[in-house]
Amino acid sequence: MKKIYLFLTVLLCIASCDRVDYGDINVNPYASQEANVDALLRAGTINYFTAGGRFYLSNATLYSQYQSQTQYTDEQRYNEAPGFWGNFYTSLVNLKAVADAPNTDIRGDNSNMVAIAELTSVLIWKKTTDSFGDIPYTEALMQEENPSPAYTPQADIYADLVARTIAAKGMLKSSSFAVDADIIYGGNISKWRKFANSMLMSLAMQMSKKDAATAISVFEAALADGPITGNADSFIFVPDTAGNVTNPWSSLRPADFDLSRTLTDAMQGVVGGENITHNTTADNRLAKFSTGGMTGKGLVYGYGDNAGNDSDAKINTAISSPGSDLVVFPASYTHFLIAEYFVIKQNAAQAQAFIKSGIETSYAQWGVAGGSDYATQRIADAGATFPGHARVIGEEKWIGLFPNGYAAWAEQRRTGFPALKPSPQPLNAGTLPERFPYPNEESTINSANYAVGVKGLSPQTDNNSSKVWWNQ
């Protein structure tokens, strides 16, 4: 499969050169010299969710085994090709420009837009560092000022993302602002505050293996302040097809992908087969996920030649249509994070309560009945042990995050649930991918800093089998 790899050094860090100061010769005296933060915020958000749908979605949905490839099967067999580095960084330029803009302009106080740009940036930065490990961060986005940005350790990135999220939450004001600039919540500051708290909970749980005390402190403060709990508050990207802003799923070729049988067997409650979960109950959400409804079989995962592997299940067109909403941070995710927190606290009753509410919230998101009965069975599947609860939480979190492959991949790597099987015909060492390799250009153009970044991996090798900091 042909890929276009954009790399940070060229895209964001144009080499500096001597300049001549021409004063105000090229300044339009009739144009505003203030940054148009409305346009920058809107453009940065749209670019992130729409640029390169194949790059945005395909690798992660394959690594999380939501999908299988029908042809061009390198990704599901874990080739060592680098991930889509430039696609992560591009949107951050405009969002940084919003954050760097003066706090006031001709429209008055723009604190809300600066805070929203920061919160959206945190979402993107988290996905980027989760995908690669140590990355250019503190010295990134400086354009010609620094063509060779240093790599920041992931531990430091996480600490800063927590701090930035807390600071951005503190900047949010109740006053309204240009609604068209906020394509997520339409100027609803209360919902942005809830998203900030849910993001803090996600950051905290992701780093809990490495710094449990800090993680619990951050998590509890965010929980007390009020995260996303209802579907009306989920972080949702709403396309504007009239403005040529479409759901990124619509840019994927349906002929190239089927749903994975790993997913369909799990949701059908198949005993044996490709079901790697402990679920034995039909999950009604499958009818919304799959064109094959409740009985459709996905494609067996991880083969180079799929001859004889029948499939009648593709991702539902209601998800992949140009105008379909993309739920980026579903409310159910918060419930499952809270359930996991109560497992850590050894509180079985509360863990079960949030497993139940998480499943019911996810069922409501997809508009299907039967969530309570299904939740009761899944709680029974957990048994009386906390490891059993953790397993069911991880399995249901995987279902609840569909089709958000990056979030599911990060959670699966951290928790080990669901217990995915590696590709039977791998192109790597035969292990589940732990990260994306850095772009080839980084090792040549930014070689010294690249070498430092590699040292943050375990083992210190730039391949997709090395683990990032929070999973070491």
Q: Is residue 1 a part of any domain in this protein?
A: no
Contacts for 366 with CB less than 8 Å, ≥ 6 apart: 285, 288
Torsion, Cα 73 78 79 82, to 10 degrees, reads: 110
Two tokens, residue 27: 């300044």
Structural domain total, the chain: 1
Two tokens, residue 465: 């089998």
* Mean pLDDT split into 10-residue runs, the chain, 472 residues: 36 34 36 63 86 65 95 91 77 86 62 92 95 96 86 98 97 80 93 98 98 98 98 95 87 89 96 92 98 96 85 94 94 98 98 98 98 98 96 98 96 98 95 95 95 98 97 98
From residue 138, how far is each of 153, 157, 159, 295, 306 by CA, in Å? Answer: 10, 8, 12, 49, 45
CA distance 84 to 128: 9
Q: Do 312 and 285 contact (CB within 8 A), yes or no?
A: no
**Distance of alpha carbon 53 from its chain centroid, rounded?**
14
Contacts for 405 with CB less than 8 Å, ≥ 6 apart: 57, 59, 60, 61, 62, 63, 64, 66, 67
Burial status of residue 39 (CB atoms within 10 A of its CB: 0-12, 13-18, 19 or more): middle
**Distance of alpha carbon 325 from its chain centroid, rounded?**
16
- The parent domain of residue 159 ranges over 8-15+34-251+323-471
Q: Is residue 289 a part of any domain in this protein?
A: no
Give the per-residue pLDDT at 366: 98
Q: Is residue 318 a part of any domain in this protein?
A: no
Give the per-residue pLDDT at 26: 40
Q: Is residue 23 a part of any domain in this protein?
A: no
Contacts for 380 with CB less than 8 Å, ≥ 6 apart: none
Q: Is residue 27 a part of any domain in this protein?
A: no
Q: What is the DSSP letter of 326?
A: E
State the CATH number of the domain containing residue 368.
Answer: 1.25.40.390
Q: Is residue 201 a part of any domain in this protein?
A: yes
Amino acid symbol at 203: L
What is the chain's Cα-based Rg? 22
H or E element, residue 13: none
Give the per-residue pLDDT at 94: 85
Two tokens, residue 291: 């064109």
Q: Is residue 2 a part of any domain in this protein?
A: no
Q: Is residue 97 a part of any domain in this protein?
A: yes
